């Protein structure tokens, strides 16, 4: 079966070389039992390649199970994957088979594998290395013969450096890598996909399909598409519903393309770690120390001017001491230069920057801002966590953990 037949069978649209290369690798690795790691940005269509691998393998007549690791709460992920014994935890009223037991001799697709907790990563590594696992609450080792295909939109190497993903698991999963390029690197596929989505939507809703003018097509292909295929499909369907005219020019198309591709705050928060907070605190402390040093220099200068010109500026003798008290820096103040900055940083900051303690407390209250954003997202979608997590740019499992952590039930 050639590539065109494969694309037709699995509904793949596109003629870019990188897409053809990914399909070719998937077909070649399918007959083996090697694990495969599919990488690419969110919305690039990674989920179709595990199906190609399964259908062209000797396991095609056995089970194929797709698991979204990011959508399963951390407390139940082990039970979902490996099963549990009766009474192993609260609510375990009966024995349950996990996916690795159900899919024996078949294929498991682990989507968003980078969201797995480290404890679950250890269990998964044992399955990959020895084909063994134990149910939650059991000491009995069970065998499984499962082909694992995983996918992630994370930078795995960065996650390893940050201690969020096991390096040995990465090497076991990455026996054969398949990389799916984003739409901005497959511009020749953009219009083909748009036309397909518009035609399918029109057929389902019994209406004429929209078409693009030449200028609109150029605009469509030049856009960066941060949401990739998912965003392109949404826009095609929006235009099909809203616009009464079936021919769309560039001016009409512009109304549906976001002007800014900047990531919203909740998505940025996902990449902030303790090191970032630490460096920000250091910068803030340095700025405050510099400000205090400038203030002390200013006090000295004013004091000198008063001493030299106290006769000329007609300051009453009784008030000179008052002026000095206000402008003269305290004797115990030390010079805040680069040499002693890091030594002072180790001391009690509250005494050194007493004037600004309240400002520091407010500006570093990231937790309060996070709680506020989560509450707003949940209110916006009437408590539906799936849509709230998409709005915040985090996985549903992470949102569930945050709700429990901040007691937002």
Sketch out the chain's domains with CATH numbers: 3-181 (3.40.50.300), 184-261 (1.10.8.60), 274-363 (no CATH), 366-405 (1.10.10)
Are the CB atoms for 171 and 157 separated by under 8 Å? no
First to last CA, the chain: 53
Q: Using CA atoms, how far apart are residues 237 and 223, in angstroms rounded to an integer? A: 17
Give per-residue burial for 277-288: e unless 16+ CB within 10 Å, then b. eeeeeeebbeeb
pLDDT digits (tens, 9 = 90+) for 53-105: 999 999 999 999 999 999 999 889 999 999 999 888 888 888 899 999 999 99
Look at the chain and count its residues: 409
**272 half-sphere exposure, CB direction, 13 A CA radius:** 14
pLDDT digits (tens, 9 = 90+) for 127-140: 999 999 999 998 89
Q: For all residues of the chain together, what is the average pLDDT?
A: 83
Q: What is the mean pLDDT of the segment spanning 28-33?
A: 96
Helices (H) and strands (E) in the chain, counts: 21, 11
Residue from 276, 269, 281, 193 nearest 230 by CA: 193
The CA R_g of the chain, rounded to the nearest whole Å, is 30
**Residue 359, Cα to own-chain centre: how many angstroms?**
30
Q: What is the mean pLDDT of the segment spanning 288-298?
A: 79
Q: Give, in degrees to the nearest 5, the angle at Cα 359 between 355 and 363.
A: 155
Q: Using CA atoms, how far apart are residues 196 and 191, in angstroms rounded to an integer? A: 8
User: Which pLDDT does position 325 carry in this prediction?
Assistant: 52
Are the CB atoms for 67 and 111 separated by under 8 Å? yes
User: Which pLDDT does position 350 carry in this prediction?
Assistant: 44
- The residue ranking higher by pLDDT, 339 or 65, is 65
User: Which pLDDT does position 349 carry in this prediction?
Assistant: 45
Q: Give, in degrees to the nearest 5, the angle at Cα 169 between 166 and 175.
A: 140
Residues 6 or more apart whose Cβ sits within 8 Å of residue 49: 22, 23, 26, 36, 38, 149, 151, 178, 180
Question: 199: exposed, middle or buried (C-beta count within 10 Å: 0-12, 13-18, 19+)?
Answer: middle
Residue from 185, 46, 53 nearest 113 by CA: 46
């Amino acid at each position: 079966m050639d590539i065109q037949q494969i694309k037709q069978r699995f509904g793949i649209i596109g003629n870019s070389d990188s897409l053809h290369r990914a399909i070719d690798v998937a077909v070649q690795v399918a007959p083996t039992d090697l694990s495969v790691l599919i990488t690419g940005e969110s919305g690039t269509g990674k989920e179709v390649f595990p199906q190609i691998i399964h259908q062209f393998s000797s396991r095609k007549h056995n089970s194929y199970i797709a698991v979204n690791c990011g959508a399963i709460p951390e407390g139940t992920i082990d039970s979902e994957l490996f099963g549990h014994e009766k009474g192993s935890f609260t609510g375990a009223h009966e024995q349950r088979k996990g996916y690795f037991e159900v899919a024996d001799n078949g294929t498991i697709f682990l989507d968003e594998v980078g969201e797995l907790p480290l404890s679950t990563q250890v269990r998964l590594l044992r399955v990959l290395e020895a084909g063994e696992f134990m149910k939650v609450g059991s000491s009995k080792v069970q065998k499984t013969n499962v082909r694992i295909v995983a996918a992630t939109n994370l930078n795995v190497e960065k996650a390893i450096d940050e201690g969020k993903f096991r390096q040995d698991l990465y090497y076991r999963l990455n026996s054969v890598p398949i990389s799916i390029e984003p739409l901005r690197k497959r511009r020749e596929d953009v219009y083909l996909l748009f036309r397909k989505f518009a035609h399918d939507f029109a057929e389902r809703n019994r209406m004429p399909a929209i078409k693009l003018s030449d200028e609109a097509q150029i605009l469509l292909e030049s856009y960066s598409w941060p949401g990739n295929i998912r965003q392109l499909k949404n826009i095609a369907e929006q235009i099909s519903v809203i616009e009464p005219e079936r021919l769309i020019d560039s001016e009409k198309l512009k109304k549906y393309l976001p002007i800014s591709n900047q990531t919203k705050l909740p998505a940025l928060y996902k990449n902030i770690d303790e090191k970032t907070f630490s460096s920000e605190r250091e910068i803030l402390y340095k700025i405050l120390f510099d400000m205090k040093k400038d203030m002390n220099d200013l006090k000295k200068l004013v004091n000198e001017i008063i001493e030299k010109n106290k006769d000329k500026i007609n300051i009453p003798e009784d008030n000179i001491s008052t002026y000095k008290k206000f402008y003269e820096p305290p004797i115990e103040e030390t010079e805040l230069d680069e040499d002693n900055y890091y030594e002072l940083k180790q001391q009690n900051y509250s005494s050194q920057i007493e004037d600004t303690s309240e400002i520091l407390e407010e500006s570093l209250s990231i937790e309060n801002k996070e709680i506020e954003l989560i509450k707003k997202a949940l209110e916006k979608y009437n408590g539906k966590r799936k849509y709230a997590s998409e709005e915040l740019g985090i996985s549903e499992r992470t949102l569930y953990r945050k709700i429990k952590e901040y007691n937002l039930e």
